[in-house]
Chain A
Amino acid sequence: MTKPLQRVYAVLLRHLYILRGSISRLIEIIYWPSVQMILWGFISRFFAMSSPGGGPSTMGMTAFGTLLGAVLLWDMLFRTQLGVTLSYLEEVWARNLGHLFVSPLRPWEWWLAMMLFSILRALTGMLPAALLAIPFYGFSIFSLGLPMLFFFLNIMFMGWWLGFLIMAMLLKAGQGAETLAWALTFFLAPFCAVYYPVSALPAWLQPVAHALPASHVFEGLRALVKQHEFLTNEMWYAFGLNIIYMIISMTILQIAFNSARKAGTLLQSGE
């Protein structure tokens, strides 16, 4: 293993030890996506069955599939962002930043480790939820095939850059801004067109939605479930936007990191 990879592995190992040593954390990671899935699954099935004739309508069942897919993808976005942000906060809570930043660990290695850990964390939460949906509702997100992989990739990308942006804010503002870790992604939810199409938004808000990669993913998901059509242009839009936002967020994070080195807050962060 090369030296940089070994350092990335060291950071991953550190977070895996925390996870392994805390059953409550592991349960929490699995619990919330599964509860979300069960709750939204029953709600959407109720609406799907509420056709005038009392039975399931085609439109209702399509909406049901779209909603369940959206619940899973949205949670994936939140969990990925949380995976990055919590990896940072774990170091702050442990007052360990001082040791990390005087080791040969480069910032990019640390960030890569966070991204990898966030995948692991998100998948640990999402897989049981996705598997639960099969016996509960007869809905398998895996049946959507390869396009789903593109949706997931885009959603993870967005989770990463959101996580890095929040991390930059935490570096700048300190632990007082900790609630951002849980709040910021939800602030964007209304504009991401998770549960309704972009066209449902007022005209003046639609450009905001179009500027967010997630809205293109959710539009793509709806088209896939309703029309069995994979809208490649929506995916390219999402990828393009994600790359732009990733560059911006990494630049902001680097600036915040340099600023923390100037202010001396790296060694002082802690509870």
Chain B
Amino acid sequence: MTAAITVKNLTKRYKQVLAVDDISFTVKKGSITALLGGNGAGKTTTIAMLLGALMPTSGSIHILGHDMLGNRYPALQKMNFSSPYVDLPWKLTVRQNLRVYGKLYNVPNLEKHIEKMAKELDMIEFIDRPVGKLSAGQKTRVSLGKALINTPQVLLLDEPTASLDPDTADRIRGYLDNYRQHHGTTFLLASHNMKEVERLCDTVLMMKRGKIVDEGTPKELIKRYGRKDLEEVFLDIARGTSAEAAA
């Protein structure tokens, strides 16, 4: 399988703070990869650099064969992003938002596509309501709808099921898994939900203080650290309590 994302020696320094420290990784096409780490580990900074919204201090990023530091636009046309921390315009309705973003990505048969997505993501009942009047969970679904509007080949998700109740979160996970199988989309997601990562992800990249400190499949990591689930592995890495276990 070829790489959808290739990152080499990526570094981001803000004056005295080294936010991302010389990381390299690849994400295989059609895979779901998780970027895990505690707060301030460098996940959001890494995602922002992959999206081209943040310039790295050094290193290189290639997405779908396009050099993101040279000309990022051909890649941006084929990727998308969702985060509960970046809003969509609150005064616009869900449909208006999806229409605007659909046009930004030149989506063909846009109206039909919006209807289809609204059904799939269970947004029909509030599609003509302003985004600002939706619940947190509904907003997360709308944000996901925006992220899928262009049927992206690469999708970067920051906490895709944040603020969702367990039932909706579970349905969204199922939806994302089906979506990947159906469209062959590559996912890179940052999440604090270890159950979600265990269920969805093929590969996990563990970040700490701007570095990738470990990587592998969820099962490999659990076995390597001698723990019963990924949450315990996460705690080990975050607290530095089991370095020797993994060595």
Contact = CB atoms under 8 A, between A and B. Distances in A.
Query: Are A and B bound to each other?
Result: yes
Interface of A: 3, 6-7, 9-11, 13-14, 17-18, 21-22, 90, 94-96, 98-106, 258, 261-264, 266-267, 270
Contacts of A100: 104
A98 B86 contact: yes
B176 interface: no
B48 A267 contact: yes
Given A95-B87, A96-B88, A96-B89, A261 B54 contact: yes
B103 A7 contact: yes
Chain A contact residues, majority secondary structure: helix
Contacts, number: 94
Among A95, A99, A263, A264, the one with the most B-chain Cβ atoms within 10 Å of its Cβ is A99
B211 to A, nearest CB: 19
B179 to A, nearest CB: 19
Contact of A104 (B77, B92, B100): B77
A262 B54 CA distance: 6
A14 B76 contact: no
A96 B106 contact: no
Contacts of A102: 51-53, 76, 80-81
Contacts of A94: 87-91
B92 A103 contact: no
Contacts of B45: 264
A92 to B, nearest CB: 11
Contacts of B81: 99, 102
Given A103-B104, A104-B104, A267 B86 contact: yes
A14 B106 contact: no
A10 B104 contact: yes
11 contacts: A10-B104, A13-B100, A17-B91, A21-B92, A94-B89, A98-B53, A98-B86, A102-B51, A102-B80, A103-B101, A261-B54
Interface in B37-55: 45, 48, 51-55
